[in-house]
A and B are shown apart, each in its own frame.
Chain A
Amino acid sequence: MKPGYVRRFSPVERLLHWVNAIGFFFLLGTGLILYLPRLSMLVSRRQLIQSLHFWAGVGWLGVLAAVVALGGRRLLATARELDAFDRDDLRWLRGGKAPQGRFNAGQKINAVLTAAFTILFGVSGLLLWFGEQNTRYRFASTVILHDGLMYVSLALLVGHLYLALIHPATRHALRGMTLGNVDAEWAARHHAKWKPE
């Protein structure tokens, strides 16, 4: 590691992030082709896109599950960090200045919602697929849930990309998710309660 840098994300954490990111973008792209009439017409091969979208979704969930299994206890420890909100986190969420751990409270919420949405995307997606073949699996609201998740996820994604790529104070964090390490002084300023190993 470069002197003056500390490790923020382990290889398995980064793997989980990028598997999730790549899967999400592929599903977003194929999903929008199915969803937006202009794109549907342009591409026109609905059956193919539908199969790609469905099997990519199944693959995405499968690979995510495999990475989680691979991560085992290390990822369980990460999950515990994301689970715990102390007073400083609550103060931070109310807009106050408060020292933060390796994850700030906003990152915790984003991670928790992303995990919950992944499950809901999976459930509603499977119901859409099987509902087309059997009325037993058809609910009038499945499509509303799947679409609603897409809109909320898109809003989270836009905020996430802004903070990770554009906002000057936070974009250094991208380095932590690509190379794994971040500047120790930056870490001390933004994640004061985190004690890097």
Chain B
Amino acid sequence: MDTPPVTDARQDPEDQPRRYGRRLFLATVAGGVSSLYWGKAAWDHVTGVISPVASAVAPILPTGGWRIYTISGHMPVFDPATWRLKIGGLVQQPVSLTYDELRSLPHVEQVSTFHCVTGWTVNNVHWGGVRMHDVLARAQPLASGHALRFVSMEVPYVDYLTLPQASLHDVMLAYEMDGKPLAREHGAPVRLIIPEMYGYKNVKWLQGIDVVPRAVNGYWEDLGYDRDAWVGRSNGYGA
């Protein structure tokens, strides 16, 4: 068989094969495991440095940075004919809003950043919707109410905010995202937005808001997550 000249490793000790394979293997594993500590900081730094590029690329990335979490087998379907937002609990006047009635309330817009407790973030989301006090005003909460229960169409998802939390300046009920009606996977027709807290407090597929005496555990809090889910100051982060 005609073979090209072959260098024989044994002739020259300098030419002994090097064990680069195991070094590459160990370096990759070590780099990957240690990235659990520096990965997010590095990624935030990179996306910060190339922020104009990142924001240009984000819309064409397949996910746009979002990932969709649900807790039940089936994602709720919004039917404008039957859907109502019911405001009840400790109120003078229970209210049931249709989709059009909700949209006829004073419209506000804001740009805020969405943080998930699992580590991903979507910067500069453009939300459109209504402020909490405009929704609650018609129902007239009683003085005995100090918190709100947000009830999702995705049963049994509920979560709570205290009234001071729900009154933060950029808390809203959003029915638009990035200029379009809120998509089904993002909680159509309307979701809670509280940018100061992790995503699990931002209840999707809202169907009810109840005024209650105090905030108790919601769905994820029952599974061990913090009730006051401040970004960077809860759930084992920062604190």
- Flag the segment in A8-16, A21-29, A119-127 that touches B: A119-127
Q: A7 to B6, alpha carbons, bound, how many Å?
A: 21
- Tell me, yes or no, whether A170 is within 8 Å of chain B by CB: no
- Flag the segment in A36-44, A57-65, A68-76, A173-181 that touches B: A36-44
B contact face: mostly helix, strand, loop, or mixed:
loop
A41/B235 contact (C-beta < 8 A), A131-B118, A135-B224 known: no
- Tell me, yes or no, whether B80 is within 8 Å of chain A by CB: no
Contacts of A87 in B (CB 8 A): 7, 15
A contact face: mostly helix, strand, loop, or mixed:
helix
Chain B 23-60: CB-based contact to A (< 8 A → 1; otherwise 0): 01100110011011111110100000000000000000
Contacts of A148 in B (CB 8 A): 35, 39
Contacts of A127 in B (CB 8 A): 36
Please name 14 further chain A to chain B contacts, defined as beta carbons within 8 Å, in addition to the given A46-B71, A139-B37, sorted by A numbering: A36-B63, A86-B9, A109-B24, A119-B29, A123-B32, A124-B36, A140-B237, A141-B35, A143-B119, A144-B35, A144-B119, A145-B36, A188-B2, A193-B6
- Interface size in chain B (residues, C-beta < 8 A): 56
Contact between A141 and B22 (Cβ–Cβ < 8 Å)?
A: no
- Tell me, yes or no, whether B107 is within 8 Å of chain A by CB: no
Contact between B119 and A141 (Cβ–Cβ < 8 Å)?
A: yes
- Tell me, yes or no, whether B62 is within 8 Å of chain A by CB: yes
- Interface size in chain A (residues, C-beta < 8 A): 55
Choice from B2, B32, B225 contacting A120 with Cβ under 8 Å? B32
CB distance from A104 to the nearest CB of B (A): 13
Which 6 pairs from chain A and chain B are nearest by CB? A141-B39, A83-B21, A84-B17, A116-B28, A120-B32, A40-B68
Name B's A-contacting residues (CB within 8 A): 1-7, 9, 15-22, 24-25, 28-29, 32-33, 35-41, 43, 62-64, 66-75, 117-120, 183-185, 223-225, 235-237
Contact between A188 and B1 (Cβ–Cβ < 8 Å)?
A: yes
CB distance from A147 to the nearest CB of B (A): 8
Choice from B35, B36, B72 contacting A47 with Cβ under 8 Å? B72
Contacts of A89 in B (CB 8 A): 17
A149/B185 contact (C-beta < 8 A), A46-B70, A133-B224 known: no
Contacts of B120 in A (CB 8 A): 143-144
CB distance from A153 to the nearest CB of B (A): 12
- Tell me, yes or no, whether A162 is within 8 Å of chain B by CB: no
CB distance from A6 to the nearest CB of B (A): 10
Contact between A138 and B235 (Cβ–Cβ < 8 Å)?
A: yes
- Tell me, yes or no, whether A34 is within 8 Å of chain B by CB: yes
Contacts of B1 in A (CB 8 A): 184, 188
Name A101's closest neighbour in chain B (CB-CB): B17
Q: A40 to B186, alpha carbons, bound, how many Å?
A: 11
Name A44's closest neighbour in chain B (CB-CB): B75
CB distance from A151 to the nearest CB of B (A): 11
- Tell me, yes or no, whether A171 is within 8 Å of chain B by CB: no
Contact between A46 and B69 (Cβ–Cβ < 8 Å)?
A: yes
Contact between B119 and A108 (Cβ–Cβ < 8 Å)?
A: no
Choice from B66, B72, B118 contacting A37 with Cβ under 8 Å? B66
